Amino acid sequence: MSKNTIIGVVLIVLLFVWSIHNAGKQQDLAQAELQRKAAEFALERAKQDSLAAIKGTKTEFGVPEISAPSALSNNELQQPFGSETQTLDDETQNANEATATTPIPQRQIYVETDRFSMVLNSLGAKVVSIKPKTLADSNGVFPELLQNKEAGALSIAFDNADFDNAQFTTDTQDTIKVADSAVVAFEWKDASGRKSVIRKYSFTKDGLAVRHATKIKGFAPRLYTLTWKGGMRETEHISTAKSFGANYLFSEVILNNTYNVERETITKQTWFNREQGKALWFGLRRKYVAGVINFGGESEASLGAEPIRDKANDKDPGTYSLTISDNMTTDSVAFDFSILPLHWKEISDMGEGYEKIIVSGWEWCGADKWFVWMCGVLLQILNAFYAILPNYGVAIILLTILVKMVTTPLAIKQLRSTRSMMALKPEMDAIRARTRGDMKAQQQEIMALYAKHGISPFSGLSGCLPMLLQMPIFIGLFVVLGRAIELREAPFVAWITDLSKSDVVWQGFSIPWIMPEGLAVLPFVMVVTTWLQTKQTITDPNQKMMVWMMPAMMFVFSAVMPSGLVLYWTVSNLWGIAQYMVINRKPALAGNAKIKGANIVDAKIIKSKKK
Q: Measured between alpha carbons, how far is 417 from 95 in angstroms, rounded to an integer? A: 89
pLDDT 10s digits, 234-257: 998 887 777 766 667 889 999 998
> Residue 230's pLDDT band (boundaries 50, 70, 90)?
very high
The whole-angstrom separation of Cα 415 and Cα 398 is 24
What does DSSP assign to residue 24? S
What tens digit of pLDDT does each residue of 490-503 get?
A: 999 889 999 998 88
Task: With a cut of 80, say whether residue 75 has pLDDT above it.
Answer: no
pLDDT at res. 112: 97
Tens of pLDDT, residues 312-332 = 677 788 899 999 999 998 999
Query: pLDDT higher for 448 or 55?
Result: 448
pTM for the model stands at 0.75
pLDDT per position as a tens digit, 203-228: 999 999 999 999 999 999 999 999 99
User: Under DSSP, is residue 562 helix (H, G, I), strand (E, B) or coil?
Assistant: coil
Residue 144's CB: how many other CB atoms inside 10 A? Answer: 15
Across the range 188-202, mean pLDDT stands at 93
CA distance linking residue 426 with residue 457, whole number of Å = 16
CA-nearest of 232, 253, 294, 225 to 34 is 253
Predicted confidence band of residue 46 (pLDDT cuts 50, 70, 90): very low
Domain positions in the chain are 3-20+383-592, 47-355
Which positions ≥6 away from 219 have C-beta within 8 Å? 158, 161, 195
Q: CA-CA distances (angstroms) from residue 425 to 530, 592, 595? A: 26, 15, 9
- Reference 316, options 235, 244, 394, 375; nearest CA is 235
Closest CA to 126 of 24, 210, 249: 210
Taking each helix axis as running N to C, give the angle between helix 459-483 and helix 370-388, from 0 to 180 degrees, rounded to the nearest 10: 60
Rg of the chain over all Cα atoms, to the nearest angstrom: 31
Using H for helix, E for strand and C for coil, what is the string for 298-324?
Answer: EECCEEEEEEECCCCCCCCCCEEEEEE
Longest CA–CA span in the chain (Å) reads 114
Q: Which strand (E) or helix (H) includes residue 132?
A: strand 126-132
Per the DSSP assignment, residues forming a β-bridge with 454 are none
Pick from 95, 199, 222: nearest CA to 152: 199
CA pair distance 512, 531, nearest whole angstrom: 23
Per-residue pLDDT for 544 more than 80? no
Q: Do 292 and 353 contact (CB within 8 A), yes or no? A: no
- Is the CATH number of domain 47-355 3.10.20.30? no
- The residues that bridge with 306 in the sheet, in sequence order, are 321
